[in-house]
A = this chain, B = another copy of it.
Amino acid sequence: MVSQDKLRSILSKLKAQQGVRGVVVTNMEGLPLSSDLDPDTTEAVAAIITSLVGKALDAVRELREGSLSFLTLDTSKGQINIAPDVKEGLILVVLKKQS
């Protein structure tokens, strides 16, 4: 289990990076555990991304591609980087501005 202190330190470093719009940590059930976005956006990101990660994990398993380490969405608004940690039961979501 990752300690709260370690998690906080990682999140601070991430948020300080250039172009980062927001960082959300959620559990595998879509319950947000940490976020620097407003409550409504946090809830939406946690729920929608968790559901997408579930689908991506299914896809990777069905295609026998091993395990999923990252999922990246490039959009016209920027990039969404998603790192699921199935073992820890956590999903890290980093929203970036368009570079």
B59 adjacent to A48 (CB under 8 Å) = yes
A55-B52, A55-B55, A56-B52 as given contacts; A68 in contact with B73, CB under 8 Å: yes
Q: Number of A residues whose C-beta is below 8 Å from B?
A: 28
A70→B37 CA distance, assembly (Å): 24
Besides A45-B63, A70-B72, A72-B74, 13 more A-B contacts (Cβ < 8 Å) are A44-B63, A48-B59, A49-B59, A51-B55, A66-B75, A66-B76, A68-B73, A68-B74, A69-B74, A69-B75, A70-B74, A71-B73, A71-B74
Query: Chain A interface (Cβ within 8 Å of chain B)?
Result: 44-45, 48-49, 51-52, 55-56, 59-60, 62-78, 80
